[in-house]
């Protein structure tokens, strides 16, 4: 019994050494081929993983597009952060559009097939800007006689609904420049506009910016507008353009378009 067991153990050791020698010889003779095969396998494996991930992303994108096209957009439930409501997922491409762009050119989104959620995203920003500042505009109207609709339309246009660099950094919502030769620290900032020497006023708050705009329109070149009816926003818009408030030849039409599309005239009552 012991002899049989010893024989089996010896036989087992012999096979192990034999297989080890054969395997070792095979590796020595073919190590380069094995390295190449291993590298190729790794490349194919990584590509397969990447393809799977990309495919899953593509399917997710198709699903979102289908949902956005088949379900109505609830602007009340999906307004922006200031209202405290959730908003749908917005792609990075949305940042390439101005908040006022779709209001000023309503047909653009259809021609370029811009996703409805992107259009609603920017329109909601305008709506929230109006909700935040319409009372301030009405207060200025009572004090200085400037229609709230005109002030809101100008503020929306000049500040890109509060997201322009001037609005964010300087609280300057009307693009009011600084012409003072003796400015104290923090009075104004240099921004690139028509020339590299343009300086724009800096304000401590949005309310201060709205007040500065009211005072600005008391200048001689604009004071005749006070003779117009406060409800005649079209005459005010054209009067501002004729008085030289902006160099844009379409400035008056833009203000009128914003007022009518956002129904800002309701705040002039």
Q: What is the pLDDT of residues 132-157, one digit of tens each?
A: 999 999 999 999 999 999 999 999 99
CB 103 within 8 A of CB 126: yes
Q: How confident is the model at residue 79 (pLDDT cuts 50, 70, 90)?
A: very low
Q: How many helices (H) and strands (E) does the chain have?
A: 10, 2
Asked whether residue 261 falls in the same domain as residue 190, the answer is yes
Tell me what pLDDT residue 87 has: 55
Asked whether residue 143 falls in the same domain as residue 13, the answer is no
Whether the per-residue pLDDT at 91 is higher than 90: the answer is no
Asked whether residue 4 falls in the same domain as residue 107, the answer is no
Asked whether residue 183 falls in the same domain as residue 217, the answer is yes
How many domains does the chain fold into?
Answer: 2
CB-based burial label for 235 (10 Å; 0-12, 13-18, 19+) = middle
Tell me what pLDDT residue 78 has: 29
Identify the residue with better confidence: 116 or 48.
116
- Candidates 114, 83, 76, 111; CA nearest to 97 is 114
Asked whether residue 102 falls in the same domain as residue 221, the answer is yes
Domain boundary (71, 97, 125) is at 71
Report the range of poorest mean pLDDT among 66-80, 189-203, 207-221: 66-80
Tell me what pLDDT residue 248 has: 95
CB-based burial label for 186 (10 Å; 0-12, 13-18, 19+) = exposed
Rg (the chain; Cα; Å) = 34
Q: Is 52 inside a domain boundary? A: yes
Whether the per-residue pLDDT at 186 is higher than 90: the answer is no
Mean pLDDT, residues 242-258 taken together:
96
Q: How confident is the model at residue 25 (pLDDT cuts 50, 70, 90)?
A: low
For the chain, give the mean pLDDT: 76
SS (H, E, C) 15-83: HHHHHHHHHHHHHHHHHHHHHHHHHHHHHHHHHHHHHHHHHHHHHHHHHHHHHHHHCCCCCCCCCCHHH
Whether the per-residue pLDDT at 65 is higher than 60: the answer is no
Asked whether residue 164 falls in the same domain as residue 249, the answer is yes
User: What does the alpha-carbon distance between residue 46 and residue 52 come to, in Å, rounded to a whole number?
Assistant: 10
Mean pLDDT, residues 171-200 taken together:
78
Tell me what pLDDT residue 201 has: 93
Q: Is 76 inside a domain boundary? A: no
Domain that holds residue 54: 1-71
As given in the structure block, the two tokens for residue 110 are 């259809």
Q: Is 204 inside a domain boundary? A: yes
Whether the per-residue pLDDT at 259 is higher than 50: the answer is yes
Dihedral angle sign, alpha carbons of residues 49, 52, 57, 60: negative
Domain boundary (71, 102, 125) is at 71
Asked whether residue 256 falls in the same domain as residue 123, the answer is yes
Q: How confident is the model at residue 21 (pLDDT cuts 50, 70, 90)?
A: low
Whether the per-residue pLDDT at 13 is higher than 90: the answer is no
Identify the residue with better confidence: 84 or 259.
259
Q: Is 205 inside a domain boundary? A: yes
Asked whether residue 93 falls in the same domain as residue 2, the answer is no
Q: Is 176 inside a domain boundary? A: yes
Asked whether residue 141 falls in the same domain as residue 64, the answer is no
Asked whether residue 147 falls in the same domain as residue 19, the answer is no
**Angle subtended at Cα 191 by Cα 185 and Cα 196, rounded to the nearest 5 degrees:** 110
Q: How confident is the model at residue 93 (pLDDT cuts 50, 70, 90)?
A: low
Identify the residue with better confidence: 81 or 171.
171
Whether the per-residue pLDDT at 243 is higher than 90: the answer is yes
CB 203 within 8 A of CB 211: no
Identify the residue with better confidence: 45 or 126.
126
For residue 129, what is the domain's CATH number?
Answer: 1.10.530.10
Domain boundary (41, 71, 101) is at 71
Asked whether residue 162 falls in the same domain as residue 140, the answer is yes
Asked whether residue 200 falls in the same domain as residue 108, the answer is yes
30-46 pLDDT, tens digit per residue, is 656 665 566 655 655 55
Tell me what pLDDT residue 212 has: 97
């Amino acid at each position: 019994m012991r002899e049989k067991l010893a024989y089996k153990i010896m036989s087992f050791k012999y096979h192990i050494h034999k297989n080890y020698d054969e395997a070792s010889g095979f590796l020595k003779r073919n190590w380069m081929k094995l390295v190449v095969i291993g590298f190729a396998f790794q490349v194919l494996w990584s590509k397969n993983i990447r393809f799977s991930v990309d495919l899953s992303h593509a399917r997710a994108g198709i699903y979102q597009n289908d949902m956005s096209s088949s379900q109505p957009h609830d602007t009340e439930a999906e307004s922006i952060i200031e209202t405290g409501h959730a908003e749908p997922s917005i792609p990075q491409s949305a940042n390439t559009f101005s908040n006022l762009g779709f209001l000023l050119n309503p047909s653009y989104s259809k021609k370029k097939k811009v996703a409805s959620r992107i259009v609603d995203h920017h329109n909601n920003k305008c709506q929230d800007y109006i909700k935040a500042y319409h009372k301030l505009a009405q207060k200025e109207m009572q004090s200085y006689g400037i229609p709230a609709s005109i002030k809101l339309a100008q503020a929306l246009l000049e500040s890109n609904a509060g997201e322009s660099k001037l609005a964010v950094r300087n609280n300057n919502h009307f693009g009011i420049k600084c012409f003072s030769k003796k400015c104290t620290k923090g009075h104004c900032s240099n921004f690139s506009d028509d020339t590299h020497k343009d300086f724009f006023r800096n304000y401590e708050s949005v309310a201060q910016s709205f007040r500065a705009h009211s005072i600005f329109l008391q200048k001689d070149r604009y004071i005749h507008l006070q003779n117009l009816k406060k409800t005649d926003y079209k005459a005010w818009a054209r009067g501002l353009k004729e008085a030289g408030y902006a160099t844009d030849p379409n400035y008056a039409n833009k203000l009128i378009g914003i007022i009518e599309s956002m129904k800002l005239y309701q705040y002039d009552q």
